[in-house]
Amino acid sequence: QSVLTQPPSVSGTPGQRVAISCSGSSSNIGSNIVNWYHHLPGAAPKLLIYTNNQRPSGVPDRISGSKSGTSASLAISGLQSGDEGQYYCASWDDRLSDWVFGGGTKLTVL
């Protein structure tokens, strides 16, 4: 049971926009930043969004992040087949003194 709650799966067709939600509490998302990661099996996880809405160099601007209260969201527009994979949110939890992660959302491009 993950501390942060994500939908198990989302899907969309090429070109569409999808959003992945991440729900937490006042001790994690409500107090601290949120980061998002993309992961394909057998590969190194990749940082997509940091500090709620910042994109690392090389991440296209069709990928965006937002945070409001105790929830965060990752949006991907202009969906491409290369966007498939698992997406994870993460935040520091002040009560646990630990990093907490979402359970992951599998994105399928139909």
Partner 1 sequence: QLQLQESGPGLVKPSETLSLTCTVSGDSISSSRYYWGWIRQSPGRGLQWIGTVFYTGRTYYSPSLKSRLTISIDTSKNQFSLKLSSVTAADTAIYYCARLDGGPTVQTRFDYWGQGTLVTVSS
Instruction: Kindly list the residues in this chain that would bind partner 1 in the complex (CB under 8 A).
Output: 2, 32-33, 35, 37, 42-47, 50-51, 56, 88, 90, 92, 94, 96-99, 101-104
List Cβ neighbours of 102 (8 Å cut-off, separation of 6 or more): 2, 4, 5, 6, 22, 88, 89, 90
State the nearest-atom distance from the C-beta of 98 to partner 1, in Å: 5
Tokens of 32: 């601290």
Burial of 41 (0-12, 13-18, 19+ CB in 10 A): exposed
Question: What's the min distance (Å) between Cβ of 41 and partner 1?
Answer: 10
Q: Which is nearer to partner 1, 14 or 56 (CB)?
A: 56
Cβ of residue 1: shortest distance to partner 1, in angstroms? 9
